[in-house]
Amino acid sequence: MRPSILRRLLRRVASTAALALVAATLSTTGAVQPAAAAGGLQQVTGFGSNPGNLQMYEYAPAALPANAPLVIALHGCTQTANDYYTASGWPKYADLWGFAVVFPQTTSANNALSCFGWFDPAEDTRGRGEAASIVQMVEYAKQQYGSDGRRVYVTGLSAGGGMTADLLAAYPDVFAGGSVASGLPAQCATSQAGASGCQTGPQKLTPAQWGDKVRGAHPGYSGPWPRVAIWQGTSDYTVYPANATALRDQWTDVWGIGQTPSATDTLPGNTTRSVYDDTSGNPAVATYSVAGMGHGLAVSPGSGTEQCGSTAAYFLNAICSTYYTGVFWGLDRDVPGGDQLPAPSGLHVTGVTADSASLSWDAVPGAASYAVHRNGTKVAATASTTYTDPGLTAGTAYRYTVAAIDGSGTPGTASPQVTATTTGGTPAQCFTATNYAHVTAGRARTAGGSVYANGSNENMGLYNVFVTHTLKESPAGYFVIADSGCTA
Q: Could you tell me which residues are beta bridge partners of residue 312?
A: 315
Find out whether 69 and 101 touch, Cβ atoms under 8 Å: no
Name the DSSP letter for residue 428: P
- How far is it, in rounded angstroms, from Cα 389 to Cα 374? 9
- How far is it, in rounded angstroms, from Cα 163 to Cα 180? 9
Query: 273 by DSSP, 3-state: which?
Result: strand
CA 11 from chain center: how many Å? 29
Burial class (CB within 10 angstroms; exposed 0-12, middle 13-18, buried 19+) of 384: exposed
Q: Could you tell me which residues are beta bridge partners of residue 387?
A: 359
Helix (H) or strand (E) holding 197: helix 192-200
Alpha helical stretches, state H, 289-334? 321-329
Contacts of 294 (CB under 8 A, 6+ apart): 233, 235, 236, 237, 238, 316
Alpha helical stretches, state H, 14-146? 81-87, 90-97, 121-124, 129-145
The backbone region for 88, taken as left when phi is positive above 0, alpha when psi lies in -120 to 50, beta otherwise, is: alpha
- How far is it, in rounded angstroms, from Cα 331 to Cα 472? 34
Contacts of 446 (CB under 8 A, 6+ apart): 439, 452, 463
Query: Phi, psi (5° rounding) for residue 366?
Result: 90, -5
Helix (H) or strand (E) holding 399: strand 397-405
Contacts of 272 (CB under 8 A, 6+ apart): 264, 265, 266, 288, 289, 291, 455, 478
The question of whether 49 is a catalytic residue gets the answer no
Could you say which of 133, 158, 274, 321 is catalytic?
158
User: Measuring CA to CA, which residue among 75, 145, 82 is closest to residue 113?
Assistant: 75
- How far is it, in rounded angstroms, from Cα 120 to Cα 433? 40
- How far is it, in rounded angstroms, from Cα 483 to Cα 281? 26
Alpha helical stretches, state H, 62-147? 81-87, 90-97, 121-124, 129-145
Q: Please identify every residue annotated as catalytic.
A: 158
